[in-house]
Amino acid sequence: DAGVIQSPRHEVTEMGQEVTLRCKPISGHDYLFWYRQTMMRGLELLIYFNNNVPIDDSGMPEDRFSAKMPNASFSTLKIQPSEPRDSAVYFCASSPLSSLTEAFFGQGTRLTVV
């Protein structure tokens, strides 16, 4: 398996534009997580899914953020409209159904909103 695949790796956009980040989890994994990493706040969990269903979205900062998982092999995180303070590295991770197993992370998307 190629691991968790995120796209794009880098995104630069202007304030007010819509941004969509994409993630393909490892096949067979039941859980998918979206994290945001910044220098100020470290690694924050935004939302996670179990079997394509959102379980906890309490970490989503504002209504401008939304996440979907239309099927087991694809998820999106959308920011509309984007703001400069959204600039961060966004990670997607997936995990199988077991507390004995770690989460597998993608390479991340570095988002810069100017």
In terms of Cα–Cα distance, which of 54, 52, 83, 84 is closest to 66? 54
Report, in Å, the least distance between residue 80 CB and another protein: 25
Q: Which residues bind another protein (CB under 8 A)?
A: 4, 30-31, 33, 35, 42-43, 45, 48, 50, 55-56, 91, 93, 95-108
| Phi then psi dihedrals of residue 78, to 5 deg | -120, 140
Between residues 64 and 107, which has the closer beta carbon with respect to another protein?
107
Between residues 13 and 89, which has the closer beta carbon with respect to another protein?
89
Structure token digits, residue 59: 């970490």
In terms of Cα–Cα distance, which of 61, 16, 11 is closest to 35? 61
- What is the SS3 assignment for 80? coil
Between residues 42 and 70, which has the closer beta carbon with respect to another protein?
42
Report, in Å, the least distance between residue 10 CB and another protein: 11
